[in-house]
Every structure is written in C-alpha cells, then in structure tokens.
Amino acid sequence: MKRGTAESYRVFTRTWWCANPAWPDGLEPRPGRQTMLAHGCTYDEARALCKKWNTTHKPGRLSRKAEFTRES
C-alpha cells in the first residue's frame, strides 16, 4: 500500500446480522467483529479492495461485507 499520504484507511470485513429465533425473520441487526484485511491504504485503494472483495464473496444470510474506515 502507498505510504506518506495525509490520511490512511483500514479495510475489514464483518457481518451485519446475527441469528436470533425470537425475531420474526430469525435475524437480529447486530454489527459483528471486524476482521482486518489491510491497513495503511489510500482512499482509492480501500475502495478498490472493498469492491473486489465484495464482488468475489457472497454476503450470505448474515450479510458479511468488506468496508473501510479512516485510521486514527
């Protein structure tokens, strides 16, 4: 990844739902634990990595997707 830019981003995956039979459709909205894919990315690199990961992996019932956020 490129270094020396003013802002850097980290890319990770997580699920957005958890199984809960008490809910009508059996799913409860709950962001899951973040699993790191990369860090120190530029904005464009982070977007590209998320797009590539999301197009090559099916989100499944719990909606596991790649996303990114600014590093502090």
Tell me whether residue 1 is in a domain: no
Tell me whether residue 48 is in a domain: yes
The structure's pTM equals 0.85
Q: Which residues contact 34 (CB under 8 A, 6 or more apart)?
A: 12, 13, 14
pLDDT at 42: 93
Span 10-17, average pLDDT:
97
Q: Which domain covers residue 51, as residue numbers? A: 9-70
| CB of 26 closer than 8 Å to CB of 19 | yes
Tell me whether residue 22 is in a domain: yes
pLDDT at 72: 80
Tell me whether residue 21 is in a domain: yes
Examine the pLDDT at 1 and tell me if it is beyond 60: no
Tell me whether residue 3 is in a domain: no
Tell me whether residue 33 is in a domain: yes
32-52: pLDDT as tens digits: 999 999 999 999 999 999 999
How many other β-carbons are positioned within 10 Å of the β-carbon of residue 46?
Answer: 25
49-72: pLDDT as tens digits: 999 999 999 999 999 999 999 998
Number of H helices and number of E strands within the chain?
1, 5
Tell me whether residue 2 is in a domain: no
Tell me whether residue 4 is in a domain: no
Provide the number of structural domains found in the chain: 1
